[in-house]
Every structure is written in structure tokens, then in C-alpha cells.
Amino acid sequence: MSGMSISTQGVVSRVNDRHTFIHERVLALIARETVVRGSLNISKADFARSLDCSTRSLDRSVTRLRREGLVSTEPVYGASGAQLGNTYRATRKGKEVAERFLAAEDASAAASSQG
């Protein structure tokens, strides 16, 4: 899992004329990968690098999303027993919240292009 990166294309950085919070971008990315691939398998460092945030910010975001029941995580271990990364999955509720968030962004973008 080391050195892996993930495309953030489609993960918005602005919605409703404000910057998105890290937890919103984390949820959008995990939800997208859950729908497309079933889960997101990546190390915390690579995940944070992909989102251009610190690992501490990523930790806080994932903790919040888990607490709210929007994502689940499982550690991934190598043969030596060392943790290689995590498997992240959006719950059904998490996918629904991410869809509403993306719909709000789409509406915001459409309004901006008309005015």
C-alpha cells in the first residue's frame, strides 16, 4: 500500500460558495470508491497526501465519520504483522449523505454558471 495515490477528480473543494471541510472530502472520496470498487484500500499517509491534508486532520475526519455511522474502517496487516494501511467503506447512510453533498455542489455550480 505504500506510495499509493488515489485520484481526487470529482471530489469538490468548494460548495455553496465555501471551501469544503476535510471530512466532507474524505466522505465523498470513500463513498465514491465504495460504489466503484467496494472499498478504498490505502495507507493513512497516502490518503492524507491525496487530499493535501495532514494525517492528523485525516484522523479527526475519519473518527468523526465513524462516530456518525457514515464510514467503517478495518486495518490491513502484512505478513510480518505490521499495519500496511486501512480499508475504508462508506455505509449506506454515508453514501446517501455524500450523494446529497454532491447534489448541493452541482446545484451551486449550476447557479454560478447562470449568474
CB contact set of 100 (below 8 Å; sequence gap of 6+): none
Number of structural domains, the chain?
Answer: 1
Segments forming the whole domain that contains residue 37: 19-99
Residue 24 included in any domain: yes
Q: How confident is the model at residue 68 (pLDDT cuts 50, 70, 90)?
A: very high
Q: Is residue 8 part of a domain?
A: no
Residue 43 has pLDDT above 80, yes or no: yes
Residue whose C-alpha is closest to residue 17's, from 111, 114, 99 = 111
- 106 in a domain, yes or no? no
Instruction: Give the pLDDT mean for 3-7.
Output: 58
Task: Evaluate if pTM is beyond 0.75.
Answer: yes
Is the residue at 84 inside a domain?
Answer: yes
Q: What's the CA gap between 24 and 101, in Å, rounded?
A: 8
- pLDDT value at position 1? 47
- Domain-embedded: residue 112: no
CATH of the domain at 89: 1.10.10.10
Residue 105 lies inside a defined structural domain of this protein: no
State the Cα–Cα distance between residues 69 and 103, nearest whole angstrom: 21
Secondary structure letter of residue 2 according to DSSP: T
Strand 83-90 to 18-19 pairing: unpaired
Mean pLDDT of 52-56: 94
